[in-house]
């Protein structure tokens, strides 16, 4: 992970540019932050443990400078201490790094006599680059050789004190863009970091590197040949990145869901019909494999249950980090669906490359346009979530679930399992979902339930089939932002051991939206109740009848077709997690140890 930024240009106040950029990249990591810049011909490096606000206190913003690099860190090698913070300097070379140099121990061995100050792989990278520069006396040759020697993932922003008006950048398997300004240029991990100054950018490709001055950008391939590039324009409004009236980005993003759902639905309709024919019409799909991480995997499980039930196609959901290192059973008849909000998750990206090497057709469900995963997939269905800033995903997860639901309907229709009448009913109901989510957002019971939960040590989530898939996401949301231990269980599985943990202090959230198996989950609810466990139900009013004495709290989602219930039922789980974390005083948008974009494996 980590966020990197760099500036070279006319602006004597480049420290402002670096810090503004880092603030927008803080979602990528927030263990420590640092900047390096040249002022009055001298190199300055300032770094500090913790948030960017700590770094700001150490900086003198009046220092004139027109070249610098900055970094916000998510620790991989070495504790989140100031000494391990970037930038790292070795002699003439100072650099910031996002990624992992996998062979750093081997490289370090070569420089045994050098007195490394930090525990990081990045300082080793700086040492290697400095050595190559001293040997070649030429930066371009040094970077070329660096690409040959360094293994793993890296996006590096580099300054060399021999060339005080040149910024260098090199990339492999970690994202990096070059921002194109007027008499000023930038580098950044993502385009939002530079939008205040320019919306023109170049995507740096893997194993290429750049030499950037205020007026010129030159890009080279790994052999040092100059290559052409395309300047793109980013047209999204920068203002979407503010919290507005909300206390937290997470709450803002939860409240944006009706709009996100509306926009995503619109993007999947042609002549008012759910239509993915441009991707799937001529494909004979025997099996679907979903590859993803974290919440995106949880969305994948919802998709699995729906596609299997409504389209009768087997679906394997593969955790991307596992898929990479196991025997895989895929072939040209498989549709592989990578799901990713950021489009940069390293494990999903690598799993995608494996799927492509087997000749599978790959159709991504992705939020960030032009992201690394989006560019590698054969085709992409973009969810319309807009920028998601809170580290814990909400609106992107929901939009992923929506697209998978629409795919289930489309494939069901294609396989003659959904007739025209049902299709019309589903399409009509689809348009009512944004309002139904709106009404769920207005429910005031979440805070009451959160008061019941926030002092607990452990919480269980139970459900069957698609409700179990929702439990996985509900549980992940709760634990990542409130630090309460929670587990999702297939309701029928609890009695095979875990029920021994249930007592009056260990509540359970039970999700019951599937009519055919509601009575089964109710039996499991009763088993918990009779062991004094408190029960919070999330359910749909027409699903079943239950006695008041069998539960403690009940959230009833608005009536809708069963296939759409996951889209509604997740909203209460998001809000309960949010209010629990708020009552506990947690840093909701930036939970400890996490980062938004996981570009390391």
Where along the sequence are the contacts to ligand F6R (CB under 6 A)?
293-296, 340-342, 345, 348, 392-393, 476, 480, 598
Least distance in Å: CB of 344 to ligand F6R? 7
- At 485 the three-state DSSP class reads strand
CB of residue 18 to ligand F6R, shortest distance in Å: 25
Residue closer to ligand F6R, measured from CB, 227 or 240: 240
Question: Which residues are 273's β-sheet partners?
Answer: 270
Instruction: Report helix, strand or coil for 514.
Output: coil
Class of residue 466 by CB neighbours under 10 A (exposed 0-12, middle 13-18, buried 19+):
buried
Active site residue 171: no
Rounded to a whole number of angstroms, the minimum distance from the CB of residue 337 to ligand F6R is 13
In the complex with ligand F6R, the residue whose CB is nearer, 74 or 197, is 74
Q: How far is the CB of 240 from ligand F6R (least distance, A)?
A: 18
Number of H helices and E strands in the chain, helices first, is 19, 27
Write the CA distances from 173 to 84, 135, 143, 190, 542, integer angstroms.
Answer: 22, 26, 16, 14, 49
Helices 294-311 and 466-482: angle between axes, nearest 10 degrees: 170
Instruction: Tell me how many degrees the CA angle 122-62-28 measures, rounded to the nearest 5.
Output: 35
Q: Which residues contact 525 (CB under 8 A, 6 or more apart)?
A: 462, 491, 508, 510, 512, 535, 537, 546, 550, 551
Of the pair 123, 347, the CB lying nearest ligand F6R is at 347
The string over 126-136, giving b where at least 16 C-beta atoms fall within 10 Å of a residue's C-beta and e elsewhere, is bbbbbbbbeee
* Burial grade of 418 (CB within 10 A; 0-12, 13-18, 19 or more): buried
User: Strand ranges (DSSP E) for 541-594?
Assistant: 553-557
CA geometry: angle 360, 324, 176, nearest 5 deg: 85
Smallest separation (angstroms) from ligand F6R to the CB of 471:
15
Nearer to ligand F6R, 130 or 348 (CB): 348
Which residue number, 392 or 406, has a Cβ lying nearer to ligand F6R?
392
What's the CA gap between 548 and 477, in Å, rounded? 28
Q: How far is the CB of 473 from ligand F6R (least distance, A)?
A: 8
CB count, 10 Å around CB of 27?
Answer: 27
- Give, in degrees to the nearest 5, the angle at Cα 294 between 291 and 300: 45
Closest distance of CB 348 from ligand F6R, Å? 5
Biggest CA-to-CA distance, the chain = 80
Helices of type H across 60-177:
104-110, 121-136, 139-149
What is the 3-class SS of 262-281, one letter each residue?
HHHHHHCEECCEECCHHHHC
Residue 51: name the closest of 85, 26, 71 by CA. Answer: 26
Which of residues 74 and 209 has its CB atom nearest to ligand F6R in the complex? 74
Least Å distance between CB 472 and ligand F6R?
11
b vs e for 168-187, b when ≥16 Cβ sit within 10 Å of the residue's Cβ?
bbbbbbbbbbbbbbeebbbb
**Residue 393 beta carbon to ligand F6R: minimum distance, rounded to whole angstroms:** 4
Complex with ligand F6R: residue 478 or 563, whichever CB lies closer: 478
Nearer to ligand F6R by Cβ, of 260 and 296: the residue is 296
212 contacts: CB under 8 Å, gap ≥ 6:
6, 8, 166, 167, 168, 169, 178, 185, 187, 218
The residue among 293 and 334 lying less far from ligand F6R, judged by its C-beta, is 293
d(CA 220, CA 23): 30
Q: Is 241 a catalytic residue?
A: no
CA 297 to chain centre: 12
Q: Which residue is nearest to ligand F6R (CB)?
A: 294
**Would you say 540 or 577 has its CB closer to ligand F6R?**
577
The minimum distance between CB 513 and ligand F6R, in angstroms, equals 21
Q: Is residue 87 a contact partner of residue 52, using CB atoms and an 8 Å limit?
A: no
Catalytic residue among 2, 293, 360, 586: 2
Which residue in the list 47, 413, 479, 596 is annotated as catalytic? 596
Q: Which residues are catalytic?
A: 2, 596
């Amino acid at each position: 992970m980590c966020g990197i930024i760099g500036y070279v240009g006319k602006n004597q106040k480049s420290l402002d540019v670096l810090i503004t950029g880092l603030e927008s990249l803080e979602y990528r990591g927030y263990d420590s932050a640092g900047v390096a810049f040249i002022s009055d011909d001298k190199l300055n490096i300032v770094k500090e443990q913790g948030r960017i606000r700590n770094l700001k206190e150490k900086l003198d913003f009046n220092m004139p400078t027109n070249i610098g690099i900055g970094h916000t860190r998510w620790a991989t090698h070495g504790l989140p201490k100031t000494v391990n913070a970037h930038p790292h300097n070795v002699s003439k070379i100072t650099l910031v790094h996002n990624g992992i140099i996998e062979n750093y121990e081997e490289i370090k061995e070569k420089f045994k006599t050098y007195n490394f100050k930090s525990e990081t792989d990045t300082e080793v990278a700086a040492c290697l680059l400095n050595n190559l520069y001293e040997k070649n006396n030429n930066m371009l040759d040094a970077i070329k050789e660096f690409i040959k020697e360094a293994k793993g993932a890296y996006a590096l922003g580099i300054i060399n004190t021999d060339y005080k008006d040149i910024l260098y950048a090199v990339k492999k398997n970690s994202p990096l863009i070059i921002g194109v300004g007027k008499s000023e240029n930038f580098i950044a991990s993502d385009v939002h970091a530079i939008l205040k100054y320019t919306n023109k950018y170049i995507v740096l490709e893997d194993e290429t590197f750049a030499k950037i001055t205020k007026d010129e950008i030159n890009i080279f391939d790994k052999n040092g040949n100059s290559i052409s590039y395309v300047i793109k324009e980013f047209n999204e409004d920068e203002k979407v990145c503010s919290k507005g009236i909300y206390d937290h980005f997470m709450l803002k993003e939860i409240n944006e869901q009706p709009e996100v759902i509306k926009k995503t639905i619109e993007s999947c309709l042609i002549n008012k019909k759910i239509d993915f024919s441009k991707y799937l019409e001529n494909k004979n799909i025997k099996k679907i494999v979903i590859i993803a991480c974290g919440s995106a995997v949880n969305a994948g499980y919802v998709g699995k249950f729906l596609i299997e039930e409504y389209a009768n196609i087997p679906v394997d959901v593969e955790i991307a980090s596992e898929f990479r290192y196991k025997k895989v059973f895929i072939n040209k008849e498989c549709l592989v669906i990578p799901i990713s909000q950021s489009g940069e998750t390293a494990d999903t990206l690598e799993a995608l490359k494996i799927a492509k090497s087997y000749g599978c057709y790959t159709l991504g469900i992705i939020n960030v346009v032009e992201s690394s995963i989006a560019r590698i997939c054969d085709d992409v269905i973009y969810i319309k979530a807009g920028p998601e800033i809170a580290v814990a995903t909400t609106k992107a997860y929901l939009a992923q679930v929506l697209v998978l639901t629409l795919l289930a309907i489309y494939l069901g229709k294609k396989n003659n399992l959904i007739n025209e009448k049902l299709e019309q009913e589903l399409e009509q109901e689809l348009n009512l979902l944004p309002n139904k989510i709106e009404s769920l957002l207005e429910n005031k019971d979440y805070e009451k339930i959160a008061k019941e939960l926030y002092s607990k040590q452990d919480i269980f989530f139970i459900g069957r089939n698609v409700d179990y898939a929702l439990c996985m996401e509900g549980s992940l949301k709760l634990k990542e932002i409130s630090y309460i231990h929670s587990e999702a269980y297939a309701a029928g599985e609890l009695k095979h051991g875990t029920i021994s943990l249930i007592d009056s202090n260990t509540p359970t959230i039970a999700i019951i939206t599937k009519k055919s198996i509601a009575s089964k989950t109710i039996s499991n609810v009763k088993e918990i109740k009779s062991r004094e466990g408190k029960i919070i139900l999330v359910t749909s009013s027409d699903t079943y009848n239950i006695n008041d004495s069998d539960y403690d709290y009940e959230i009833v989602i608005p009536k809708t077709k069963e296939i759409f219930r996951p889209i509604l039922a997740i909203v209460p789980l998001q809000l309960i997690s949010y209010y629990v974390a708020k009552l506990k005083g947690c840093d909701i948008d930036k939970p400890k140890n996490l980062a938004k974009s996981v570009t390391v494996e």
